[in-house]
Amino acid sequence: MRRSVALRIEALGVFTVLALCLSAAPVEAANTWPGDSATRTADGSGVFGKNLSGLSFENPQVLWAVKNSPSTLYRLVPSGSTWKVGEKRSLTFADGQGDPDAEGVVSTPDGLFVVSERDNDNEDVSAPTVLRYGTSGTEEWALTGMPSTDPNDGPEGIAWVPDAFLTRQGFKADNGKLYDPADYPGHGSGLVAVGLEATGEIYLYALRNAGVALVARFASGQKQVMDLEFEGTRLWATCDDHCGGRATTLAVVDGKFKTTATYDRPSQLPNVNLEGFAISPDCVNGKKLTLWSDDDNTDKHALRSGALNCTA
């Protein structure tokens, strides 16, 4: 959600201030966007209004999106060159109450997950939470290990990283051990990555039946994070107009996630409040469809599409 440009440092604890200093990446020269420079609107006029935030492809024909106020989950399907609402539902917490400040969504083999930074009905209290919405009901995990932040600068983006990728790459948890999925029974088939807006850090969690386990935390290469996207062999971290719409990619290097590249936004993509980012899993004619969501609904459009070059 749009916030004041000035950080409310007086509202933050000393640990958050330290985290801001330690994790914020220096401003570096960025590479040209590795795809088409052209973008276009990808929704009808006035469909979503403000506050559309996270995006995630289930498959090339189904896109999930969340709106943070009022908390709404959308299932979108193609309509020519745009996306239309197939289904939508209002979101609550696991007890059926509240209005989750839904900032990110990810579709995974383990279900559909949404990250929320607070309850809009109690917006002055930070409450970092991941929720899973399914046919059998709603599950909820309170996130631990994050520094205290302004309630509106909390978890902003979410992605899912498969266990198979982590073990193949020789990923090491912050405890120094080689990552072994068996150490986190009941967590599913992958870890959830959560991006913290205030510091730009990324947190990897195992969501278990008995609660969450923080497996690792690392810098994204951005001073702030608005969304995360895992694309086969790399993790993307994107920022909004506070960072010029830049994106970084991260890969596992010597057992740890490290920044491998920084990219400017496509030259024709407006520098607006881009809070959501998604990459289609399909490669067509050497390109993948990419989508951004604009929380401000600039010119009455909340979705914009572009193209990313396919990688091996």
pLDDT score recorded for residue 304:
98
- Count of CB atoms situated within 10 Å of the CB of 142: 10
Contact predicate 98/119, CB 8 Å? yes
What pLDDT is attached to residue 17? Answer: 38
* E strands present in the chain: 40-41, 52-59, 62-68, 71-79, 82-90, 100-108, 111-119, 126-134, 137-142, 155-162, 190-196, 201-208, 211-219, 227-231, 234-238, 247-253, 256-263, 274-279, 287-294, 303-309
Residue spans of alpha helices (H) in 210-307: none
Q: State residue 92's pLDDT score.
A: 98
C-beta of residue 262 within 8 angstroms of C-beta of residue 246: yes
The answer to the question of residue 1 being in a domain is no
The domain spanning residue 132 has which CATH number? 2.120.10.30
Element (H, E) at 161: strand 155-162
pLDDT at res. 24 = 42
Entry field: residues in the chain = 312
The pLDDT of residue 6: 36
Q: Could you say which DSSP state residue 99 is in?
A: -
User: What does the alpha-carbon distance between residue 160 and residue 112 come to, in Å, rounded to a whole number?
Assistant: 10
Let me know if residue 248 belongs to a domain. yes
* pLDDT 10s digits, 8-30: 333 334 333 334 343 444 446 79
Number of domains composing the chain: 1
Residue 41 forms part of a structural domain: yes
Q: Whole-model pTM? A: 0.91
Please report the pLDDT score of residue 28 as a whole number: 60
Amino acid of residue 21? C
Residue 286 lies inside a defined structural domain of this protein: yes
Give strand pairing partners of 31.
Answer: 263
Q: Is residue 149 part of a domain?
A: yes
- pLDDT given at position 29: 78
Range of the domain at 136: 9-309
On whether residue 2 sits in a domain, the answer given is no
In a domain, 3, yes or no: no
What is the predicted pLDDT for the residue at 12? 39
**What is the pLDDT, as a whole number, of residue 280?**
98
Q: Which residues of the chain have pLDDT under 70?
A: 1-28, 312
Full DSSP string of 48-81: S-S-EEEEEEEETTEEEEEEETTEEEEEEEEETT
